[in-house]
Amino acid sequence: MPPFAPPRSVYVHVPFCRHRCGYCDFTLIAGRDDLRDAYLDALEREIENAGWDESASPTSERRGRTCGLVPLYELDTLFFGGGTPSHLTGLQLARLFAIVRRRFTFSREKKEPAGLRRAARQHAEVSLEANPLDLTDEMLAQLAELGMNRLSIGVQSFNADTLRLLERDHSPEDVRLLIPRAKRWFDNLSVDLIFGVPGQSLRSWHETIQEAIDLGVTHVSTYGLTFEPGTAFTTRRNRGELQPVNEELERAQYAAAMDDLAAAGFEQYEISNFARPGFACRHNLNYWRGGSYFGFGPGAARHINGRRETNIRSTLGYLARLSRGVSPTFEVDALDAKGRARERIFLALRMNAGLSRAEFRLQTGFDLDELGGSAIKKHRASGWLEDDGERIRLSRAGRFLADRVVADFL
């Protein structure tokens, strides 16, 4: 098995939101804007105190510090997620970016021919998740100036009733006005959309997808609403106040996303994600391909040298640990070689490209058919898995039942 590649991706979790939406079980804290500067202090400590391995740094560039020479890691992708990173003030966003850039640099495209005298351009994908109401012209300009080149906007719906039920604080009109403004600074705009919402009709979902297409975004993520334990929506469902959509309608809505977006020129490259050619999210592709990555902030996960670690989810707990000089790591999962190989199957089957037998053997040292032959045979017969002899992938029918299919490989 080849050695683990050094991470070239970083995820930074920013846990702050105006309020917690009823369906949300993400790692966040609402109504505590007073903690934002303390969070930045803690994040800076976490990054500076991380157990850096200079030999793993993919660049020889170094900077002197009072503590000695430290590696400056080169990145292909950087993702600020949440929570709502755009909920930080302009000064806090600038500090957030500066904290990361003290340890990380960006990969760049090759220089243009010397006669043109043009410097190499930033090649790394730098993403930030944002609430539509935060994205004023001033913030858009600042984000572009800082080096962000991809925005992921939490739109969720273009139907006012659906947005109210989801407890979102923006209106469809806010997004209709935002996207053209955002295009002045960003070529790569992604929107998140939710289907399977109580009271959401198939027609309304078609209309939401079409609005996203018409606005000219380059990437669409579609998620079926789930009732997670401990959320307000689950409590309301248990009281009979919310009625989940039936399975047939939810299936029809997912099919509508696949069909409508494909007809508009989007490629479905993963179970929930669609992109115009050249605009697939490179950061998330690294996850699904089993790549290595750093992760910082409350609840953030990282995958380094085959070892998976997750930070404590509580923002207050995260701040307390870092203030005492204690690692925020809460869980560690060091899979054995076979466990990592099975995980590679699970992640790869999320992607429409599926998994190559040759690549799987090269990456894991295992034969795919020896490790998962019974599951391949079972789901090839059911029609949920396609197998051309070189690679396996979920069929269209299999995408509706992805969790059931991949469970048989684990």
Quick check: 88 and 33 in contact, CB under 8 A? no
Over residues 331-370, the pLDDT tens digits come to 999 889 999 999 999 999 999 999 999 999 999 999 999 9
Over residues 73-117, the pLDDT tens digits come to 899 999 999 999 999 999 999 999 999 999 999 987 554 444 333
**90-101 helix and 36-49 helix, angle to the nearest 10 degrees:** 0
Spatial neighbors of 115 by CB under 8 A, at least 6 apart, are: none
**172-182 helix and 137-146 helix, angle to the nearest 10 degrees:** 40
In this structure, which amino acid lies at residue 334?
Answer: A
pLDDT interval class at 6 (50, 70, 90)? confident
Spatial neighbors of 295 by CB under 8 A, at least 6 apart, are: 10, 11, 12, 13, 301, 302, 309, 310, 311
Q: Could you tell me the CA-to-CA distances from 318 to 29, 101, 226, 296 in Å, in that order? A: 12, 22, 27, 11
Question: Where do the domains of the chain lie, and which CATH numbers do they carry?
Answer: 9-288 (3.20.20.70), 341-410 (1.10.10.920)
Q: What is the pTM of this model?
A: 0.91
CB atoms within 10 A of CB 214: 12
Over residues 363-405, the pLDDT tens digits come to 999 999 999 999 999 999 999 999 999 999 999 999 999 999 9
pLDDT(69) > 60: no
